[in-house]
Structure 1
């Protein structure tokens, strides 16, 4: 049996699955101040009368890091940047404690200027005095040669709790995004560490000793331990869970919209022939452009608990959430209360819901039922307007799926898949209003937890070989080996495949789920000096594609 857990901002959903289907499902309120008891409550209900030894896999998705970024609830951290010639790294300044230092490596990985050790010592003392506990270190061409980052880390180790290095972030060359990504990892680490400890403690309470997987933004999983080195990977893992939960129900050879309507936000995504769209460079949220590989999603601040009010005789919904619906003891009328008035929902305080909607109706000069219907229609309209604005933006540039690059492709959805508690009501209303085939995904209220449970482990490696220098490297993986002048592109792919599969297994993958390996990028250059060939440079990137694990097909029927 396997467990999927989706820790959302409003609710935490959990499912227990076997090869026969869903054995048990639970939904509890998320207490962000006490995640231990939130998670423990889920495990307690799921495992009632179940021997924990029967559970072989647990996958958790969480909005914790996403919320920290959106709410700017991140720890102040130190950033030390080594660049050399080119654009002044002050142009990429992030945070208050940002230092540019001497020392540089060129694009071939050769040192052009050494690190000034005394300079690093002085900066370390300043950061320590400012109360900084976590530091990021980024050298411009660290993916070619990380020696400067490693040296700076050695100097800093005695001063700080943890040092994050830029060359561990990604094999891609993008200095500004590498700075941002390293900063995010350091800034959310303390918060994520609390989550990590809450999960471990709650598992120990229930006698669960199996390795835990965390869902990443690209729709794949990594081990809980691995995620501690790269907590930024869990940004947008909540929307990724929704997409993975919707894939089985998407049409073949067609485009589909995925809407996950939660209590606070609605997440929007797209599938092309059952394949999720991909952010080709990395996640962008507000001012932050990162190298964090991600499925392409966006969010709108509107959901079941969004506050409904009248401003200048106009009905507005969200983006704020003042608490639960009045039907569940909240202070302000919400979309959920409108659904009570329309008779779509009944398991709460009907009188309170009616009272909240009646106040809105009085301001609009409508009956309670007319007002509730107006609220519901407006909510559908706001969500679909945001969705079609996204489609217009996507159709103005190349489209990337997790499988391929689609140049000139125009997204034209023929189906909408809806997840979340109110999915069945929204599916009916949206189809009625917009005449697009719309369905609530089976088990829509916990489909995101199912998507998390069934997601397979994904990862990627970037490998560089230089036959003139006689070395092949994947500095992101701390890998380097000598090679001969005869090293070929076949040798490169073989080395990369071995590294990729080792990384996947170390990240918690089942060897049976390592068949979806593909070459994402391949480049070959001749090195010519004084009209004479001196060697070759090879570069490749390989990945294990996002998808679902085998053996649980009945869950999706």
Structure 2
């Protein structure tokens, strides 16, 4: 049994998958993840199931609490480099080969930690992905001043560009404690589970705690893969009409496009997530003379006080919730006017996409997608389980790990995700060619995935995302080479559901 959960802006969707049989459920977010998991446990043996969670916690925290959560950023760029715009610059340096050449100054670090009020801490050393010793040492000092759950280390980001890695680490620090609390609450019911990433893959919770921005904006990926699984249509525009937003994701050859180096609140980062577009209107969008780009509680049909887009649809003949209450609040003529405006605004966006077919998802899809498709001149389909396609996408996706490897054959070093691997010393002695070292990185990524429960058949599709190699020559003699390689097990549908 596979259990997929997607925590959206308004509702939490749940999908059960067993031998390609799908069951879906929807809960209001007020229930909370712990209560929802408790309810699920009455339906299935959750301890023996694979549990995957897509959560809006990172997105919500960075949207609504960005300025409230103050982060102290400590930066160790090395001598002669001015990184003061990124935080407090301190002594301590690991060079480009991962050699610890300048000690940290503990008194200087303590002074920085005592310098002001902050809620979280980001520690970034320039070449920490080749040797994280400085970040570990500083973290030990910092734990005397701040809880470890609120400390983020840059080598866990695992990518080279230092300014982007600092930014990512600062944002990780802002959300680390929230993701840790959610993780602990889930672990009370199931010890081992997975989180869903923004690029459409799944990772074990242990990796998510080290780099929680991996989870950023995961719902568009979930709904895209859910729509593909439910319809089998490889090329289409997915329109997901949720409670808070209307989202657009383009499918090409059965996969959404992934965006690199995503900008969050004006900060360029190392975040990868599915490319999507959102309009700030959904089923719970307030109607107050016109449709507003925000929520103000529940729809009247579900016990709220002010009408919403859902209530407008009820006024036009839909029967959602307590539809009679909606009709007491809103007249048919004004409802038709506002729904038409919404349909036209969505259709205008749809016309900009090359797809000929729309896949409608979200709980209002059956009421709105036919009108949108007609206005945009597109074909459409609305699959079974359309209201919880996001949770289905979470359930059907496979483990997708990213591995940064650095090989220094002269020093006989293999470093994986910032940590030196003693066992690989013998494997890289001599003068291996580039292909051998790339294969070592790929094999290590596979080993990690299998350790966390991946099916071996899901590991056939691995991308080399970055590669750089240069020879070390001393006295006219080649002494070795240094190779940097980043590999990723590609996101996609897991073999268990194909």
Q: Do both share a fold (TM > 0.5)?
A: yes
Corresponding residue SS for 1:413: coil
- The separation in 1 between residues aligned to 2:297 and 2:455, in whole angstroms, is 41
Q: Which runs of 4+ in 1 moved over 6 A?
A: none
Residue of structure 2 in register with 1:491 after alignment: 436
From 459, 471, 487, the equivalent of 2:401 is 459
Does 1:119 pair with 2:113? no
1:40 maps to: 38
The question of whether the paired residues in 2 share the 8 Å contact of 1:29 and 1:38 is answered with no
Distance 1:531 1:298, change over 3 A: farther
| 2:382 is the alignment partner of 1:440 | yes
Q: Offset of 1:459 from its aligned partner?
A: 0.7
Q: CA 1:199–1:138 in 2, change beyond 3 Å: closer, same or farther?
A: same
Q: CA RMSD in A?
A: 2.6
Distance 1:467 1:478 in 2: 13
Are 1:84 and 2:78 an aligned pair? yes
C-alpha distance in 1 between matches for 2:85 and 2:112: 20
- Local SS of the residue matching 2:394: helix
Matches of 2:276 and 2:489, distance apart in 1: 20
The corresponding residue for 1:324 is: 298
SS of equivalent residue, structure 2 residue 285: coil
User: What are the equivalent positions in structure 2 for 1:145-160 lying under 5 Å apart?
Assistant: 145-160=131-146
* Greater mean deviation of Cα atoms: 271-280 or 375-384: 375-384
Match in the other structure for 1:10? 10
- Kept in 2: contact 1:220–1:456 (CA 8 A): yes
Equivalence map 1:522-537=2 (5 Å): 522-528=467-473, 533-537=478-482
Deviation sequence 1:130-165 (CA, Å, 0-9, x none)? 364x42210122223323222222332333321321
Look up the match of 1:403.
none
Tell me the secondary structure at the aligned position of residue 521 of structure 1.
Answer: strand
C-alpha separation in 2, matches of 1:465 and 1:111? 17
Q: Cα–Cα, structure 1 residues 178 and 52, in superposed 2: closer, same or farther, change >3 Å?
A: closer
Cα gap change, 1:444 to 1:425, in 2 (>3 Å): same
Deviation at 1:304, TM superposition (A): 0.8
TM-superposition CA deviations, 1:375-402 (whole Å, max 9, x none): 222222323444566x6xxxxxxxxxxx
Of residues 29, 40, 59, the one that matches 2:52 is 59
Q: Which residue of 1 aligns with 2:343?
A: 380
- SS, match of residue 303 in structure 1: coil
**Could you tell me which of 368, 393, 407 is aligned with 1:426?**
368
Give the counterpart of 2:251 among 271, 277, 292: 271
**1:462-473, aligned counterparts within 5 Å?**
462-473=404-415
Relative to structure 1, is the Cα distance of residues 307 and 86 closer, same or farther in structure 2, using a 3 angstrom cutoff? farther
Consecutive unaligned residues in structure 2, runs of 5 or more? none
| Alpha-carbon contact 2:200-2:274 (below 8 Å) kept | yes
Query: Whole-Å Cα distance in 2 between the matches of residues 319 and 305 of structure 1?
Result: 10
Superposed, 1:149-548 pairs within 5 Å as 149-162=135-148, 163-170=151-158, 172-201=159-188, 203=189, 209=190, 211-248=192-229, 249=231, 251-252=233-234, 255-281=235-261, 283-310=262-289, 315=290, 317-343=291-317, 345-358=318-331, 368-369=332-333, 371-386=334-349, 412-479=354-421, 481-482=424-425, 483-528=428-473, 533-548=478-493
Return 5+ residue gaps in structure 1 as ranges. 93-97, 204-208, 359-367, 392-411
Q: Distance in 2 between matches of 1:269 and 1:176?
A: 29
Quick check: 2:347–2:373 contact (8 Å CA) kept in 1? no
What is the match of residue 28 of structure 1? 27
Give the aligned length: 491
1:69 aligns with 2:62: yes
Distance in 2 between the 1:221 and 1:388 partners?
A: 32
The answer as to whether partners of 1:79 and 1:135 remain within 8 angstroms in 2 is yes
Does structure 2 conserve the Cα–Cα contact (< 8 Å) formed by 1:6 and 1:12? Answer: yes
How far, CA to CA, are the matches of 1:378 and 1:335 in structure 2? Answer: 11
Deviation at 1:445, TM superposition (A): 0.6
Residue 539 of structure 1: CA displacement?
2.2
Q: Distance in 2 between matches of 1:215 and 1:341?
A: 37
Shift of 1:85: 5.0
- SS at the partner of 1:31? helix
